[in-house]
Structure 1
C-alpha cells in the first residue's frame, strides 16, 4: 500500500520530534546549579594538568611531579588539557588555576571555569547520541533509540562522576558512541579511527578493545567464504582482504603516531604513568565486583576465627594461613581500608595481578567466540558489554566509576528484546547506587538519591513501553519480581547508611567502623552486578534471536 503525501508529511513531522535539544537544555540548567557544589580531589588533578601543559614544554609533561596528581592519561587528553589552558581568562589565572604547586590553592573563578569546560565538552556526547537517533532505520527504532539516548544523556553516573565528583567522561563516551554507530552503519574505517582516538584519550577503554578488534577483523579484514573452484593456497591468500587491512592499519597507526611520537624521548615515563602496576588489587573504595565480595568474605572469616574458637582448626586446615597475623589489631584495621597499596587477605588466598589478568582474558575470549562466528552489530555490542563486565568484575585495581563501561554500551541494545530488561535494570540500579559514597556532603547526598531515583522510575517505565516484545515471549515473571524486590531493598540500604552517617559523630563505637558504609554499598551492589552479568551472559550465549540484525 502506498502512503499518500499527507501521511508521509505527517510521518516526517513525527520523526523530527526526536531531538535531544530540550534534554540538553534541562541538563544544562541542573549542571549550572551544581557548579558551586562539592568536588573531589580529581578537580585539583585536572587543574594541575592544565598548569603542566600550559607552563612546561611537551618533553616535561610526563616527567613533572611537583604535585602527587601527575599527568597519567594518554597524549590526546594531554593535548585536550593544553587546548583548554589556552582559554583560561586572566581572572582565573590570578586565582591560581595555572600554578604548578604541590596542592592547588584556588577559588570560585577556577571552579567556574573548570565546571564550564566539562559542560561544553559533553556536547560531544549529545552530538553522538543525536547521530545515533537520526541514523536509525525506522520510526520504531528512532523511538527506541531516543529513549536509550535520553537515558544516557541524563545518566546519574555522568552527573555524579563528571559534574559533581569531577571528570570528563561525557566526552569520552561521546567518542565511543561515534565509533559504535560507525560500526552499525558499516563505516568500518571510521569505527577504527574513532576507537583509536578514544584509546589515545583514555586507556581504560583498552578493556573494550578485544571486541572492537575481533569485529573489525571479521567484518572488514577477513574473507571466510571458501571457494571450491580455487586451490587451497589461493584460498589461504584470499582469506585476508589485504587492501582493507592495509587501510585500517594505516588509519590506526596514524592516530597513535600523532598521539605518541611527540613524546618519543619520554615514552618509558609515559607508559609507567599509564600502567602503574604497583597499585593494589582494590581501589581505596571497593568497586562492586568479585574482589569486593572476596574481601568481604575474608573479613567475615576473620571475625568467625576470632570469635568462634571451634572453627579455628577447620579454617586453618582449609586455607593454611598465618594465624599470628590475626593478633595484630592495627594491621587488621589497615587492611580493611583497602588502600591503594597491596591489600592483604588474612585467611583467603592472595590474589595476584596475573590471576586477575587471566580471569579477565578468559571471560573476554568466551564473549569473542560468538562474535567471530556471528559478526552482527548487535552481537558486537553484546560482546563489548561482556568485555566491560569481565574487566569490571575481575580486573586489577578497578575503580567504581568503571561500571559505566558496562552500562553505556548495553543501553544501546536493551530495547532490542524485553528479555534484556531484568539484567539491565539490575545493572543500572546497582551500578549507579554504588557511586553514592563518592559524594558524602549533605546537599549533594539528597541530589544524588532523589535524581537517581527519579531517573530510574522514569526510564524503567519508558524502556518497558518501547522495548520490542518477541512473539514467543518467555521472560519469567518470577525473575522480574526477584529483580524488582532486590532493587527495592536499596531503600533500606540507603536508609541504614544515612543513619550511620548521621550518628557516627555522636557515638564512639561507630567511629571504629568508618568504612562500614562503603562495604555495605560495595557488597550489596556487587551481588547485584554479578547477578546481572550471569543473566546477561545466559542470553548472550543461549538466545541467538536477540543478536541477529535481520530480525
Structure 2
C-alpha cells in the first residue's frame, strides 16, 4: 500500500511543474494576462453610463450606493436602519445586511477625504460630479480586485490541485486559464457591477471563496466566508440549502458527526455575532434590521424578471388576486419543493461534483420561485454555472446568453446597449476558443436538438431588433419586455430540469466516492 501511494505521489510530482520551469512561467504569464485583461474590460465598461444617471428624483442604484455611504458616515450604526429626519427610509433606505453598511462606511471614509461635498448629509442627493463618478467606480473596481478575483484564483487552484492528486493533468494549464476567463469575463457580472453599478462582486466573491474552501476540505473557512456572503447580501441565501445539505451530509459520515456540526455552527454563530454586534443590544434593534431586509410590500417580483411569477402574470394577475400573506406562502412552498430533491441528494451522498450542481439547482429554485426577485438576481445561479463551464460547456454558454438577454431591457434603460453588444461577442470568443471547442467535443448534439435550439435563438435575435427599433402597441406598452421574459423563463426551466436530473444521475458515482473516501473523512 505504501509503495502504491509513493508511486502515485511520484506521478503527481511529474505532472507538477517547477516554479522556474518554462511551462510554469508560460502558465503564470497567461494567468496574469487573463486577470489584467479582465480588469481592463471592467475599466472600459465603467466609463459608460450607470443606473439612474441624471434622472431625478430617485435616480438609481448608483445613487442608492452613494446615499448609503452618506448615511453610514454621518449617523451611528444604530440609526442606519431606522427612519428619522436624518434618514428618510423612503429615499433609498438601507435594505441589505450590516456587512453592506460597513462596506459603505469604509468607502465613505475614502471618498470623504477627497470629496466631502459628495457625502454631505441630506444635501448631496443626486450628486454626480465627474470626480465623484470616478471615485465611485474605483470603489467597485477595487472591491472586485480584492475579493472576487482572489476567490476565482482560489477556486481554479483548488481544482488544479485536485486534478493533480488524481493524476489528471492533460491540457491542465490551458483548461485552468479558460475556466478563469469564463469566471472573470462573465458579461452579466461585468455589466451589472461596472455598468449598472452594484457591488455583487463582494457577496459573490465570498460565496466563490466558500465554494473553493469546500472543495479544498477547509470547511470551517467555508462556513466563515459563506456567512459573510449572506451578511453582505441576503440573496446569498439562494445557496444556503446546497451549503447546508452538503456540509451536513459530510458531517454525518464522520466518526463524531455532532462535534463536526457543532464546530461549523460555532463558526457561523461567532461570525453573526461579530457582524451584528451593534444591533444585539435589543430585540427591537434586530427586528428593525430584519424588517428592512424583507420588503414584502414591494410585491412578489420586481419589474420584468424572467421567473415564474412574472412570466405567468400575463395569465394570472398574482399581485391583484392574492394578498401578500398568501403569496408569501405560495412562494415558500414552491421554492422549498423545487430545491428539496437536490437537498436530499446532498445529505444522502455529498461529493464535490454533485455540490456544484446542488448550488446551481438551489439558486435556480430561489430565482424562479422566491419572493421579491430582481432581474439582477440571475447573477447568483450564473456563478455555479460558470464553475461548471468545463463539465457543462453547452449549458454554460446557453445560460449566459439568455441570462444576458433577460437583463437587456434593464441595461437598455441604463444606456448600456453598446457595452452589451461589445461584451456578447467577447464572451463568444472565449466560448468558441480552441479550449472551449475541446471541452465541447464530447457532446454529440443531434440535428433535431440543434433545430430545437435554433428556434429560441432566432427568436431572441428578432426580439433584440424589435426592442431597439420598434415601438410597442399603445395598448401593450411592455409587450417586448414580456416576450423577452417569457422566452428566457422557458430556457431557464429547461436548464433547471436538466441540472436536477444530472445531479441525481451522479448518485451512483457519488455513493462510490463517499464509500471510498469514508476512511479519509474519519
**Band the TM-score falls in, shorter-chain normalisation:** 0.7 to 0.9
Other-structure match for 1:71: 94
1:206 aligns with 2:237: yes
Query: What TM-score, normalized to structure 2?
Result: 0.83
Distance 1:287 1:545, change over 3 A: farther
Other-structure match for 1:507: none
3-state DSSP class of the match of 1:465? helix
Contact 1:218 1:372 in 2 (8 A): yes
* Aligned partner of 1:295 among 288, 313, 324: 313
Cα distance in 1 between the residues matched to 2:414 and 2:368: 30
Q: How does 1:126-525 map to 2 (within 5 A)?
A: 126-135=149-158, 136-137=160-161, 138=164, 139=169, 140-219=171-250, 221-223=251-253, 240-264=256-280, 265=282, 266-283=285-302, 285-298=303-316, 343-344=319-320, 352-416=327-391, 420-440=392-412, 444-461=416-433, 464-467=436-439, 476-500=446-470, 503=471, 510-525=473-488
Q: How does 1:33-48 map to 2 (within 5 A)?
A: 34-40=46-52, 41-48=60-67
The Cα RMSD (Å) is: 3.0
Which structure has the greater CA radius of gyration? 1
> What do residues 44-95 of structure 1 show as CA deviations (whole Å, max 9, x unaligned)?
111111011100111111114425201111111111111111111455222x
Cα distance in 2 between the residues matched to 1:208 and 1:103: 35
Distance 1:269 1:443, change over 3 A: closer
Cα distance in 2 between the residues matched to 1:185 and 1:83: 31
Equivalent pairs counted in the alignment come to 477
Cα distance in 1 between the residues matched to 2:430 and 2:120: 42
> What do residues 341-370 of structure 1 show as CA deviations (whole Å, max 9, x unaligned)?
x72259xxx972201111110111111122
Cα distance in 2 between the residues matched to 1:177 and 1:426: 21
Which structure 1 segments of 5+ residues have no match? 225-237, 299-334, 336-341, 505-509
Query: What TM-score, normalized to structure 1?
Result: 0.79
1:518 CA drift (Å): 1.7
Distance 1:405 1:293, change over 3 A: same
Other-structure match for 2:126: 104
Cα distance in 2 between the residues matched to 1:289 and 1:356: 12
Cα distance in 1 between the residues matched to 2:409 and 2:261: 46
Cα distance in 2 between the residues matched to 1:33 and 1:495: 22
Cα distance in 2 between the residues matched to 1:33 and 1:435: 16
Cα distance in 2 between the residues matched to 1:190 and 1:201: 17
